Chain A
Amino acid sequence: MLNWFKVLSILIKKDIKIEFQTKETLVTLCLFGLLIITVFSLSTENNSLINQNFGAGILWSSVIFAGSIAMVKFFYHEEQNKTLQSLLVMPVPSELILFSKSIVFFIFLSISEIIIFLISSVLFNLNIFSLKLILGCIVFNIGYSVVGSFFGVISSKSSSKEILLTMLLIPIITPILMFIIATTNDVIRSELNSNFQTWLGLGISFDIIFLTLMSYLFGKILED
């Protein structure tokens, strides 16, 4: 078990070290996300009713699309340097590779969300910081990072990485996307009578199902 954690921490350190050298994933996530937010802020009047109705959609559109572009960048170096193939030759369980990728992407996604939310709350005059949303973001980020890392590895071998990853990722994460948009809507509109607990149950179930499923299937996609 100790060995398991040791290997995982080495893999995480490796990915963070690469990112600090290139800074591509985090910069792409933040800048692309902010760019989408800015475009939306230009196209809508600063009306509190409009912002309350469309705020959640705008926020999560920017996170999702910036996330999928950053995910492609994240796996680009792996494919270029054949790092994944080298790791597979070593006695490392395949699910550890998925976990390390997911954890690192989870960290990057969380950092970018803090920045995007801060800027959006200023641009759209929204009050979005609450414990409910933080909890929702953690559950969403886990699901998004695990499913994204799984499909990121798959699409990295394709010539049309960006479109393929987005097309594979978004339909599958629809349940947690609905969960996080509903939660954000509740927070923005300060709704008290919401079914947050049902949504949270669904979000956690999604994370457990897909974490188990993908860690089992990850080895199968790396065969050959």
Chain B
Amino acid sequence: MVRQIYLIATGIVFTISIWMIFLWAPTEINQGQVQRILYLHVPFAWASMVAIIAIAFTSFLFLLTKNDRWDNLSQSLAEVGLVSAVVMLFSGIVWAKPVWGVWWTGEAKLTTALVLFFIYCAYLLFRNYFPPGNARNRIAAIIALIGAIDSPIIYYAAQIWEQNHPKAVVGPLASEESSLNGEMVITLLFCVLTVTLLFVGLVWTQYQTNKLLRSKNV
């Protein structure tokens, strides 16, 4: 019941954020309408980054306590984290083409995001392919920890890589910093709050679903 009320409240907040994105926030002068993608891209990027840290934390707690609830939470976080990573990548690609002139560049953040997506895939594939049981849950927790430890190294490597490759210089924003006005900042922060609420709601729902599936040994 509590979860249903929470999800309805999230739905209302989400509707308000849609109104803010398309009707309340002004159109950015340089980028035009395409800039509105950032109101979804940034929050989903935030959600997918937070998810990997949360998975590492819950996996560590699982290894420490051997309590199945932490393992279930890690799995649910990874499933929702993967969806967030897909939304982040797709919205980023759609935004980059008209603004940078290219779909993809070797930028550190982009490379890290893509590898992060593959880490989520690897974690979930492992859970799917490995025979169920204590060994699978323990090894999955170890993989999650390794993925989280590797993420900052990947980011650092991508930064060095970026120095070797020219950045995309096509587009109106290529050589200048973007500036958001007050209403845009409020909209962006509201969207971050909305996606965070949505993320928690989805993880919560997924947690209950996985709990049910585990009790039925599916």
Q: Check A213 against B131 for contact (C-beta < 8 Å).
A: no
Q: Which of A159, A172, A205 has the most CB of B within 10 A?
A: A172
Complex: A157 Cα to B132 Cα, angstroms: 11
Residues of A within 8 A of B121 (CB): 167
Complex: A202 Cα to B155 Cα, angstroms: 11
B68 CB → nearest A CB, Å:
16
Q: Check A209 against B149 for contact (C-beta < 8 Å).
A: yes
| CB < 8 Å A-B pair total | 87
Whether A174 is near chain B, meaning CB under 8 Å from some CB there, is yes
Interchain CB contact (< 8 A) of B139 among A154, A195, A202, A213: A154
Whether A224 is near chain B, meaning CB under 8 Å from some CB there, is yes
Complex: A102 Cα to B179 Cα, angstroms: 51
Q: Check B154 against A175 for contact (C-beta < 8 Å).
A: yes
Whether A16 is near chain B, meaning CB under 8 Å from some CB there, is no
Interchain CB contact (< 8 A) of B126 among A168, A174, A195, A199: A168
Whether A182 is near chain B, meaning CB under 8 Å from some CB there, is yes
Complex: A78 Cα to B93 Cα, angstroms: 44
A178-214 interface bits toward B, Cβ cutoff 8 Å, 1 = contact, 0 = none: 1100100100000000110011001001100100010
Chain A residue with minimal CB distance to B120?
A171
B210 CB → nearest A CB, Å:
20
Q: Check B153 against A158 for contact (C-beta < 8 Å).
A: no
Interchain CB contact (< 8 A) of A171 among B115, B131, B135: B115
- Majority-rule SS of A interface residues: helix
Whether B38 is near chain A, meaning CB under 8 Å from some CB there, is no
Interface size class of B (residues with CB under 8 A): 20 to 34
B164-175 interface bits toward A, Cβ cutoff 8 Å, 1 = contact, 0 = none: 100000000000
Q: Check A213 against B156 for contact (C-beta < 8 Å).
A: no
Residues of A within 8 A of B154 (CB): 174-175
Q: Check A195 against B163 for contact (C-beta < 8 Å).
A: yes
State whether A164 and B125 are in contact (beta carbons under 8 Å apart), knowing that A158-B130, A178-B158, A182-B161 are contacts in the complex: yes
Q: Check A220 against B142 for contact (C-beta < 8 Å).
A: yes
Interchain CB contact (< 8 A) of B118 among A157, A164, A171, A202: A171
Q: Check A209 against B153 for contact (C-beta < 8 Å).
A: yes
Tally of contact residues, A, Cβ under 8 A: 32
Residues of B within 8 A of A171 (CB): 115, 118-119, 122, 147, 150
Complex: A195 Cα to B157 Cα, angstroms: 12
Whether B65 is near chain A, meaning CB under 8 Å from some CB there, is no
Residues of B within 8 A of A224 (CB): 134-135
Whether B50 is near chain A, meaning CB under 8 Å from some CB there, is no
Complex: A28 Cα to B204 Cα, angstroms: 46
Interchain CB contact (< 8 A) of B160 among A159, A202, A213, A217: A202
Q: Which of B143, B153, B157 has the most CB of A within 10 A?
A: B157
Of residues 67 through 119 on chain B, the ones whose CB sits less than 8 Å from some CB of chain A are 111, 115, 118-119
Residues of B within 8 A of A163 (CB): 125, 129
Whether B211 is near chain A, meaning CB under 8 Å from some CB there, is no
Chain B residues near A (Cβ < 8 Å): 63, 111, 115, 118-119, 121-122, 125-126, 129-131, 134-135, 138-139, 142-143, 145-147, 149-150, 153-154, 156-158, 160-161, 163-164
13 contacts between A and B (CB under 8 A): A159-B129, A164-B129, A167-B126, A170-B118, A171-B118, A172-B146, A175-B150, A178-B157, A199-B160, A205-B153, A209-B153, A220-B138, A221-B135
